[in-house]
Amino acid sequence: MALLDLEGLSRRFGGVLATDGVSLQLGAGELLALIGPNGAGKSTLVNQLSGALRSDAGTIRFEGEDITALPQHARVARGIARSYQITNVFRRFTALDNVALAVQARSGSSLRFWQPVARERALFDAAADILRDVGLGARMDVPAGALAHGEQRQLEVALALATGPRLLLLDEPLAGMGPDESETMIALIAELKGKLAILLVEHDMDAVFRLADRIAVLVYGRVIARDAPAAIRANAEVRRAYLGEEAASEAAP
């Protein structure tokens, strides 16, 4: 059984069918990259998965359960997390404080039998572990607002990990990053790969082909190909619809 199973998922915005009958499966620990031209419906699909957008048609099954109609918080509780932009970070709190709060939100009542001091220790220990995992071990005590751009994106991933996900949704995690920051983020994603399933939307084809176990190509809301990276690279329809265009723009001066 697939961890995530999408069947015929669609979403319309007025006259635009942003996603049009998308069927995809994602196995536990697998990294599926979703690529395609601007406006293809990639972010729409991520939002349908996270629960930020309702779907007009189709079903989303997660670990066998139909979650199509579940609100966002219920999906987070089941193990689907997305990395958000920095907007829901407390900028004056340290990185550690921010992650500890996120861990607390996940833990809910599970810590209620602990003494307050032990509870706080457990929260901060868990938060510190997560920050070390994302490469911010040396930056825990820095206010979130004072972190460099790339570090803030690492913190966003830490906040998503704090919810204990089995599926992580990443929509353009490399956007706006310089080469060094990109390398750090790519290494982090490579590190997470296999431990949890990842749906990665990204325009950086170098990163996509380095990281992906499988690649799905979305064009005008439809999946035109889904395959191993080498097969996608060799696919004439994909080259025509997307990769050719990317290669051409990279070759341009």
Q: Which stretch binds Mg ion (CB under 5 A): 37-45, 77-85, 102-110, 123-131?
A: 37-45
User: In the bound complex, which residue of the shown chain has the CB atom lying closest to Mg ion?
Assistant: 43
Of residues 162 and 223, the one with the C-beta less far from ligand ATP: 223
Residue 199 CB, nearest approach to ligand ATP (Å): 13
Distance from first CA to last CA of the chain, Å, rounded? 47
Distant-in-sequence, close-in-space partners of 163: CB < 8 Å, separation ≥ 6: 76, 79, 81, 102, 105, 106
Query: Is 25 a residue that touches Mg ion (CB under 5 A)?
Result: no
Q: Based on CB atoms, which residue is closest to Mg ion, 120 or 172?
A: 172
Closest CA to 4 of 67, 85, 73: 67
Can you tell me which of 42, 82, 153, 214 binds ligand ATP, judged by CB under 6 A?
42
The stretches of 91-220 forming alpha helices (DSSP H) are 95-107, 116-133, 149-161, 179-192, 205-211
The DSSP call for residue 201 is: E
Question: Closer to ligand ATP at the Cβ: 38 or 110?
Answer: 38
Stretch of residues binding Mg ion (CB under 5 A), selected from 40-48, 63-71, 89-97, 231-239: 40-48
Stretch that binds ligand ATP, among 33-41, 74-82, 126-134, 226-234 (CB under 6 A): 33-41
Nearest to residue 223, comparing CAs of 2, 26, 1? 26
43 binds Mg ion (CB under 5 A): yes
Distances (CA, A) of 227 to 25, 112, 194, 238: 11, 46, 18, 11
Q: Which of residues 132-151 bind ligand ATP (CB under 6 A)?
A: none
* d(C-alpha 143, C-alpha 103), whole Å: 18
Q: Which does 80 bind (CB under 5 to 8 A by kind): ligand ATP, Mg ion, none?
A: none
Phi, psi (degrees; rounded to nearest 5) at 7: -135, 115
Residues of span 187-216 touching ligand ATP by CB under 6 A = none
Q: Residues binding ligand ATP: what is the number (CB under 6 A)?
A: 11
Which of ligand ATP, Mg ion, none sits in contact with 41, Cβ below 5 to 8 A by type? ligand ATP
Helix/strand/coil (H, E, C) string of 147-176?
Answer: CCHHHHHHHHHHHHHCCCCCEEEEECCCCC
Q: Which residues bind Mg ion (CB under 5 A)?
A: 43
Q: Which residues bind ligand ATP (CB under 6 A)?
A: 13, 16, 18, 36, 38-44
